[in-house]
Amino acid sequence: MHKSVLRSTPFRLTLALGLAFLLALALAGMVAFSLINDALYARLDRDIMDTYSVIEQSFVGSDLTDLADLVTSHARASVGMNEVFRLEAPDGSQIAGNLPMLPASEGWATAAASEIGLAARSDTYRLFSGPVGQYRLAVGVSLTETNAIGWIVLTSLAWTMGALVLVLLLVCVATATRGQRRLDSVAETLEQVSRGQLDARIPLSTRNDDIDALAADVNGALDRLAALVEGMRQVSIDIAHELKTPLNRLSISLDNARDASNDQPDVMALLDEARHEVHQVNSIFEAMLRIAQIESGARRARFAPVDLGVIAERVTEAYEPVASERSQTLELSLPASPAIISGDKDLVTQALANLIENAVRHCPEGAAIRLAVERDNNQSIITISDNGPGISDADKPRVFDRLFRVEKSRTSPGNGLGLSLVKAIADLHGASVSLADNHPGLSVRIAISSLPAPDVARPD
């Protein structure tokens, strides 16, 4: 049984209700058993008294012979000493019957067989003794049969309880499994939404129960959330589109002004600085538009089998000269077999290029940068690690936010959107991105689901 089922609310509620029912049934069974047991003993006492009365009434006119003969006939009719009788003289001697001795007191008594002289037996007897004239008569019956009936009743109740416990467990598991399946669909939908799939919705059943009501409310909230996010994204896209044209015109105007500056150094320096800032603003808008395009999911239509090793080789070849200029080393490690995923080759290349470029830009001279591709069960893992300054634990959760830059990198080129673009590409591919210390330096790990690898080893 899965642990999540055992911890689920439906399982616990069903189990609690079932245990309450079993407790009530156990109490009812105890009461029923007590009543049945009392009824059996009461009936046994009536039978003993009836037999005693029949024998007592036979003593007419002080005729001891008839009384003794009747006691003897009853004792002979007893099968296996199930019934015992004794007619005793005033001096305590036995006149008739099969009972060796009587209890000390008259009236009702319950005695073990050894207490009434039946040492060979181990059962218990219910006895009634009383005077018949000057004599004493005792009639008794073994409790073995009565106790056996009570034991049968008790065993039946126990088996019934055991069967109900089994049924309860089956009902608990069935109820919990069905309930957990529906809760899992809710959790899966919310996880999809957290990965940016704002069109995901919780499937509704035909039961119209409380879970369906909750799912309908959540779906309504997701509809409103999707509308708000889409509205904000559309506004951002519209602003970026609207500003691109005047920015381009401004860039052209600055070029014209530079050409008309008659090579005045001060004016040209100011115009070059303005052109640089305009170019920076343009790059920010282009990056934001690209991120918005990726987050919209439109690029999923271009997904195809992609070998991460091939992309890693191309990115390494492109950035090795850049790293060498800074006296840095760029090392590549590939798996023995191809790491195939379903994705957009250009976007995956962009993500790896951004990460390598960040490492090259922020690491000092002589730093070692390593790009590794691995296969782990059904996942392909990309790791970019370096021995540079790294990122503080306080900044790690924020580095994927748009336009965020750590304090020590504010003086270097960049717009704070490189890692945001990497995160958007990872989310589009259903991949996870995590940052860790490399002691020293930074390690960026991307894990993505793999396609079955062809049975071909990577060439050396």
In angstroms, the CA 248 to CA 253 distance is 9
CA separation, residue 420 to residues 106, 210, 244, 283, 449 (Å): 101, 39, 21, 14, 21
Domain spanning 298-449: CATH 3.30.565.10: yes
CA separation, residue 401 to residues 124, 415, 424 (Å): 87, 12, 11
If one compares 154 and 320, the residue with the highest pLDDT of the two is 320
Thinking of the domain 9-147, which architecture would CATH place it in?
2-Layer Sandwich (3.30)
C-alpha 33: how far from its chain's center?
A: 42
Residues 199-243: tens digit of each pLDDT: 788 888 777 777 778 888 888 888 888 787 777 666 666 666 666
- Residue 308: closest CA among 442, 446, 455, 420: 446
Most confident of 23-32, 183-192, 435-444: 435-444
Tokens of 160: 């019934």
Amino acid occupying residue 143: L
The band of 456, judged by pLDDT with boundaries at 50, 70 and 90, is very low
The band of 56, judged by pLDDT with boundaries at 50, 70 and 90, is confident
Fold of 210-295: Helix Hairpins (1.10.287)
CA separation, residue 36 to residues 50, 88, 147, 182, 343 (Å): 21, 35, 11, 47, 75
**DSSP letter assigned to residue 352:** H
Share of the chain above pLDDT 70, in %: 80
Task: Please compute the mean of the pLDDT values over residues 34-49 and round it to a whole number.
Answer: 87
Domain with CATH 1.10.287.130 in the chain: 210-295
**DSSP letter assigned to residue 363:** S
With contact defined as beta carbons under 8 Å apart, do 386 and 368 qualify? yes
In angstroms, the CA 339 to CA 344 distance is 14
Tokens of 415: 């717009």
Domain with CATH 3.30.450 in the chain: 9-147
Domain with CATH 3.30.565.10 in the chain: 298-449
With contact defined as beta carbons under 8 Å apart, do 390 and 408 qualify? no
Give the count of beta carbons closer than 10 Å to the beta carbon of residue 413. 8
| Helix, strand, coil in percent for the chain, rounding step 5 | 55, 15, 25
Give the count of beta carbons closer than 10 Å to the beta carbon of residue 60. 8
With contact defined as beta carbons under 8 Å apart, do 377 and 336 qualify? no
Residues 177-205: tens digit of each pLDDT: 777 777 778 888 888 777 667 778 888 87
Contacts of 247 (CB under 8 A, 6+ apart): 278, 281, 282, 285
- Residue 379: closest CA among 436, 434, 329, 325: 434
Pairing of strands 340-343, 304-307: antiparallel
With contact defined as beta carbons under 8 Å apart, do 329 and 441 qualify? no
The per-residue pLDDT of the chain, averaged, comes to 80
Sign of the dihedral defined by the CA atoms of residues 122, 127, 130, 132, in that order: negative
C-alpha 90: how far from its chain's center?
A: 81
In angstroms, the CA 297 to CA 428 distance is 7
pLDDT of 296: 64
Exposure letters 227-265 (e unless 16+ CB within 10 A, then b): eeeeeebeebbeebeeeeeebeebbeebeeebeeeeeee
Residues 68-98: tens digit of each pLDDT: 888 888 888 888 788 889 888 888 888 888 8
**pTM summary value:** 0.49
CA separation, residue 31 to residues 27, 161, 267 (Å): 6, 15, 106
- Residue 84: closest CA among 98, 65, 103, 63: 98
pLDDT of 410: 43
pLDDT of 358: 86
In angstroms, the CA 444 to CA 355 distance is 8
- Residue 223: closest CA among 231, 234, 233, 235: 231
Share of the chain above pLDDT 90, in %: 6
Rg (the chain; Cα; Å): 47
With contact defined as beta carbons under 8 Å apart, do 417 and 357 qualify? no
Residues 232-271: tens digit of each pLDDT: 666 666 666 666 667 677 777 767 776 776 667 776 777 6
Most confident of 2-16, 266-280, 440-454: 440-454
pLDDT of 370: 92
Helix (H) or strand (E) holding 270: helix 265-295
Residues 319-375: tens digit of each pLDDT: 999 889 889 899 998 888 888 888 888 888 988 988 898 888 888 888 899 999 998
